Structure 1
């Protein structure tokens, strides 16, 4: 597995991974309406372009395929963190997370935060995050629960 920073040419593959992962991996924690609203975020291409251009976006690559990615916004906020549905539980998330923490330390960040799905919450707890609040987000009239979490560095 190799790491590299994302470029605009990675946009379509990143969005596809985002959609497929949510549809597959999160289906036990979110109902079909919630999943459909969540994946509709892939339609906002400008948001994705802004992420690639303005955030630290780290891709995990195996055989020229993106198998996971994580993003760090402003040196202290994990915005996106997704592992390909076919590459779950292989240590990829851990390796991406370590790299994001190293990047956060370059910014001298004292705390790293994220808004974490029900599905990802156990992983973040294992990485030393604590839950600061349960959040009930309303997107297109649908409630989606996630958690404001943080970790001291």
Structure 2
């Protein structure tokens, strides 16, 4: 699958919110209950996602030949990766890995010494392959639904 990585554009917000929901509903459904998936997927609107990605953080989008988003990710100034999602049909094809590598390169260029994230079950497996370590399992409630993820970090 041919793709390139570019900076986030405000006009991406709706497509990225759709990508986020599809990734949660199709990829994360392997590891979480239907109630958990519904709570998680329902938590992001295009407006909210666009505001966060457009707040000055590094936000990158992997796009195909038609400029349709295949994956997106971000990096906050303190080394926090809040989002790293691939469209279900792009998962496992190296696109999210290339996007992550671009984020890590940016972090190194900014002399960051640590990257950290809160990773789902699927993301935990991905980040472990990228050299992250699990700090702790986080149990929390989203709406009224019990959830969990993993605090992870990588020293640069």
TM-score bracket, normalised by the shorter chain, equals over 0.9
Q: Map 1:1-150 onto structure 2 (within 5 A).
A: 1-43=3-45, 45-63=47-65, 64-150=67-153
Contact 2:5–2:62, Cα closer than 8 Å, also in 1: yes
Higher-strand-fraction structure:
1
Change in Cα spacing, 1:44 to 1:88, as seen in structure 2 (3 Å) is closer
**Cα deviation, residue 115, structure 1:** 0.3
Displacement of 1:98 after TM fit? 0.6
1:99 deviates by 0.3
Give the deviation of 1:135 after TM superposition: 0.1
* Structure 1: gaps (5+ residues): none
Please say if residues 75 and 104 of structure 1, whose CA atoms lie closer than 8 Å, have aligned partners that are also in contact.
no
Q: In structure 2, list runs of 5 or more residues that go unmatched.
A: none
For 2:49 and 2:95, locate their aligned partners in 1 and report how far apart those are by CA, in whole Å.
25
- Number of residue pairs aligned between Structure 1 and Structure 2: 153
CA distance in 2, matches of 1:132, 1:43: 29
User: Taking structure 1 as the reference length, what is the TM-score of the superposition?
Assistant: 0.95
Quote how far apart the aligned CAs of 1:75 are.
Answer: 4.5
Shift of 1:54: 2.1
Q: CA RMSD in A?
A: 1.3
Q: 4+ residue stretches of structure 1 with deviation over 6 A?
A: none
Q: Any idea what the Cα deviations from partners look like across 1:51-87, whole Å, max 9, x if unmatched?
A: 2232111000112210001100114111100011011
TM-score (norm 2): 0.93
Q: How far off its partner does 1:94 sit?
A: 1.2
CA contact (8 A) 1:18 1:82 kept: yes
